[in-house]
Structure 1
Amino acid sequence: MYGREVLGGSGCVGLLFGGGGAGAVLGSIGYGCLGHRMSRWAVYTVCFFIFFIGGAPRTAVFLLGPGLWWLALAMFVAGMFGGTLNPLSGVVVLDRVPEEFRSRVMGMLNAGALSATPLGALGADVAVATWGLPGGFVSAGVVYLLVTLCPLVFPDWRTLDTTVVRPRANVPVTSAH
């Protein structure tokens, strides 16, 4: 809707998503090279928050309408910081989940994240239908900000830097006959 009504077409939306994707690749590479030298909690918290602020294409930057190239730059910056979140999350899962359960845990994490996608789209549709495009951006921004603050509010997040050594589970290995 934003692409059609404000930017003038889907090509411009593609440019914005491409900028975000390019930033995400760069952020992932950067975390891969430098992440082991930094606090996981600090990196996650800062990147998640900057992903929200720099990623304000979902909120203020889109509402301000500074022009396509500024929006593309904001998407690129948001992508850079957001691109660190998945590799960091993967490191935490590999560090904390016993080897025998990793495929199940990673599968459930992916399924949970992907199953929430249609709910977000439905919520966005309801918000835009109820409050219009600006209200939809503001409501999404408020929800995202509340989620972004979780690493600062809940103390369990500070344990990201703690390496958990778990003994191997006694899971019987069965062979398929």
Structure 2
Amino acid sequence: MRLIPFAYLASYLLSLLGNSIAGVALPLIVLQVTGSALGAGAVAAATAVPAVLAGLLMGVVIDRINRRTSSVLTDLVSAAAVAALPLIDMLSGLSLGWFILFGIVGSLGDVPGMTARDALLPAIVRHSGLASERLVGIRESLGAVALLLGPAAAGTLMVLFEGSTVLWITAATSLAAALLTLLIPHHVGDIVVTAEGEATAAGSGWVQLRLGWRVLLRSRFLIVTTALSVVSVIVLASLQGLILPVYFTRLEQPGMLGFVLTALAAGMLVGGTIYAIAGARGRRRAWFLAGVFGSALGFVLIAALSSEWVVFGGAFVVGLSSGLFASLMGVLMIERVPEQMRGRIMGTQNAILTAAPAFGILTAAVLTEYAGVNVAAIALVSVGLIALGLSVFAPSLRNLEPESAEAGTGGAAVIHSA
């Protein structure tokens, strides 16, 4: 594999792996330091809003500077925010306030970092010589690997090291991700702007932000795919975050939840690998329908809550279908999102998807409290099935083949950004 795609994919894997480890280890460290579950919840709540705002607002910056540079800077922000915690622990000791402060700082790098990598992807495809289907499929497979390895690595590290020492490891993964991204030549991150894009490039940051939102809201394709992704994330988060923990707790087998997440990640790995190998063959509509109907089947199997083995099977099917669907959507985003607006549009999408899980878990909690876990599972999955069903008949998703004149290819000029 050539250097450019290798550096991009390795950086992507390390960044996600670090986030996956921190997602498990950090709440445990907060609990160890504060002795309060409320404290862990306070850290999560305090960082959620800045993460969403950063995703919404930083897209303008990502659209104005070199995409490789923005990716490196966001990884460095994440690394510094995490590394500050064990450093302060050595110097003066940690408290809840420190966790909240650097949680907020770190959130300013997380969603923008995700957006920066998404915005850089079309350039990686152009300079790598790989088909977009293969590159995106490999990327989704690596995301599944991070999801598989992260929790296990976090548990092992928490046993081997004391307290906040584990966070040096997660900071190192973000730093390594930034260094790997530096292996990508600087010119690869230059922004390609069409003649039409040059005409709309002027104006303040707020004007540019509104322009990006206007493009997003006027595109039926982007509206439908964003809404479908949000609903799917809400349903999946409600199942993972509340319904299944309650279900397995009632079975007196809470440890089984980990196997469900493993089955989900394994399915995503298989789905991404299949798409990387065969995604360029056949019609995209067939891949889309496979992802939609597979997700529907998996959600139904999970919502039935008939046995733990059926739940495991449903999780694997959902993961497999998600791997196919996410890979296809990644390819379509490369082709259909204007190059000069990728930061703003994908930053908005990532911000919404970051906020969606909390809404899903809250809804599931209310339904479970007042109607029971089975009703909550059926109700939320029904919403997901309706969204999936509507997407099958959406006019904007009927023709998914490459367009004759893709966005961002006509009359292109390259902006050499800092």
TM interval, short-chain normalised? 0.7 to 0.9
Equivalence for 1:166? 407
Specify whether residues 126 and 87 from structure 1 end up closer, same or farther in structure 2 by C-alpha distance, changes over 3 A only. same
Q: Mind listing any 5+ residue stretches in structure 2 that lack a counterpart?
A: 1-245
Equivalence for 1:46? 290
Identity of aligned residues (%): 26
Distance across 1 between alignment mates of 2:389 and 2:291: 12
1:140 to 352, 358, 380: 380
Specify whether residues 126 and 33 from structure 1 end up closer, same or farther in structure 2 by C-alpha distance, changes over 3 A only. same
Q: Mind listing any 5+ residue stretches in structure 1 that lack a counterpart?
A: none
TM superposition shift of 1:162: 4.3
TM superposition shift of 1:98: 2.2
One-letter code of the match for 2:342? R
Distance across 2 between alignment mates of 1:44 and 1:175: 36
Equivalence for 2:339? 99
- The answer on whether the counterparts of 1:100 and 1:171 sit within 8 Å (CA) in structure 2 is no
2:406 aligns to what SS in structure 1?
Answer: coil
- The answer on whether the counterparts of 1:48 and 1:81 sit within 8 Å (CA) in structure 2 is yes
Distance across 2 between alignment mates of 1:58 and 1:169: 49
Equivalence for 2:257? 13
Which of structures 1 and 2 has the bigger CA Rg?
2
Equivalence for 2:136? none
Alignment of 1:40-119 (within 5 A): 40-60=284-304, 62=305, 64-65=306-307, 68-119=308-359
Distance across 2 between alignment mates of 1:172 and 1:43: 33
Q: CA-to-partner distance for each residue in 1:31-77, whole Å, 9 max, x for gaps?
A: 111111132222122212211212334412x1x22xx3343233212
Distance across 1 between alignment mates of 2:415 and 2:311: 53
Distance across 2 between alignment mates of 1:35 and 1:70: 28
Moved over 3 A (4+): 167-176
Specify whether residues 18 and 45 from structure 1 end up closer, same or farther in structure 2 by C-alpha distance, changes over 3 A only. same
Q: CA-to-partner distance for each residue in 1:154-175, whole Å, 9 max, x for gaps?
A: 2111132242523468899586
Specify whether residues 117 and 165 from structure 1 end up closer, same or farther in structure 2 by C-alpha distance, changes over 3 A only. same
Q: Normalising by the residue count of structure 2, what TM-score does the alignment of the two structures yield?
A: 0.38
2:267 paired with 1:23: yes
Q: CA-to-partner distance for each residue in 1:122-157, whole Å, 9 max, x for gaps?
A: 111111122101110110121011011122222111
Distance across 2 between alignment mates of 1:170 and 1:162: 18
Q: CA-to-partner distance for each residue in 1:67-118, whole Å, 9 max, x for gaps?
A: x334323321221112112111111000111222223322222111122111
One-letter code of the match for 1:110? N
Distance across 2 between alignment mates of 1:72 and 1:30: 20
Number of residue pairs the alignment of both structures matches: 171
